[in-house]
Amino acid sequence: MQRRIRVGVVGGTGYTGVELLRLLAQHPAVEVATITSRKDAGTRVADMFPSLRGRVDLAFATPDEAPLAKCDVVFFATPHGVAMSQARELLAAGVRVIDLAADFRLKDPAEFERWYKMPHACPDLLAEAVYGLPEVNRAAIAKARLIGLPGCYPTSVQLGLLPLLELERRRPGAIDTDSIIADCKSGASGAGRKAELHLLLAEASDNFKAYNVSGHRHHPETAQQLAELAGKPVGLTFVPHLVPMVRGILSTLYVRMKAAAKEDVQALFEARYRDEPFVDVMPFGSHPETRSVRASNQVRIALHRPGGGDLLIVLVVEDNLVKGASGQAVQVMNIMFGCPETDGLQQVPILP
């Protein structure tokens, strides 16, 4: 790789933005050319995030003055609705676009409108957009111009179910696809860097709760993708919970095995992920902890079958800001630009 990849970041003041900057600052083949924030234009990045002092020497620019069109790739670490308003112009200028928000995740614009309460600005681009989950779409990502990056919860749920749904596709009747339960738990950074009462330390610390049990935006995204993997609709119940910690997601997945009661699911998972650099299948019966992947792009998965029955429990941990967002974004960029997939993503998890 001769020339460095010129990167633009739109909306760098949130958690996925600062996490992108952390990862890109350590990437051997990247130059961050510009970073925008309408509200904080003029502020030096390292003044807002002192962790980046001495590592990121940029100030936030307004979207208008930022040379986004001269970048090789632009990441949108923005609220939902921003990327879709700027993607067409950037693509026309030959810039590749990776949206970390939801604008290009759902294939059906009506579904987008229903969950995000706004019309989709460019439904035609939805068809072109590639869902940026490397473990499923690596080849398509390599050729893509426009990426809708998976949400944090959906990444963990899909990676936990992927080998099973592919099995079901190959051998229908292997698992019960009507009654999958995803009981998911996330740290508070998953809600973003937003000044909301319920996210205050004094509210959320030393506390635990479920939220959005009757409907969460990551449900339609996950259901869409699971159906694609299984080749048929999948009945999914998704219950998110808020954990009093900063980073991390643990998804506890309940899947009923059918014909496959005899199936060696451990071997199935190990085979499926053998060559995946960021998916670690732990020994059967392990208990992965979120801190075992903290601040890294790693996912760890473990399987259980209590009492040897037909209910399979899949435990999946990820760092919601890395594999669940910015790390996955870098992984996708690496694929798009022909870099080694692990470039900039080799950090060892932080424990303790």
| Range 176-235, binding a copy of itself (CB under 8 A) | 179, 181, 183, 185, 187-189, 191, 193-197, 199-211, 213-215
122 is catalytic: no
Amino acid occupying residue 295? A
160 in contact with a copy of itself (CB under 8 A): no
Q: How far apart are CA 157 and CA 238, in angstroms?
A: 9
Residue 314, token pair as written in the block: 């899949």
CB count within 10 Å of CB 166 equals 17
What is the distance of C-alpha 213 from the center of its chain? 21
Q: How far is the CB of 150 from a copy of itself (least distance, A)?
A: 20
Nearest CB to a copy of itself, comparing residues 174 and 184: 184
Residue 217, token pair as written in the block: 């935006």
129 in contact with a copy of itself (CB under 8 A): no
Residue 74, token pair as written in the block: 């632009």
306 in contact with a copy of itself (CB under 8 A): yes
Residue from the set 4, 138, 258, 304 that interacts with a copy of itself by CB under 8 A: 304
Choices 70-78, 94-102, 120-128, 313-321 (CB under 8 A): range interacting with a copy of itself: 313-321
Please list every residue from 258 through 297 that binds a copy of itself, using CB under 8 A: 280, 282, 285-296
Q: How far apart are CA 11 and CA 276, in angstroms?
A: 30
Q: How far is the CB of 310 from a copy of itself (least distance, A)?
A: 10
Residue (of 10, 15, 9, 12) closest to 199 by Cα position: 15
List C-alpha distances in Å: 87 to 95, 103, 112, 133, 218.
9, 10, 16, 20, 22
Q: Which of 71, 122, 152, 184 is catalytic?
A: 152
Amino acid occupying residue 49? F
Residue from the set 2, 39, 42, 54 that interacts with a copy of itself by CB under 8 A: 54
Contact mark string toward a copy of itself, 79..118, x via CB under 8 A: ----------------------------------------
Active site residues: 152
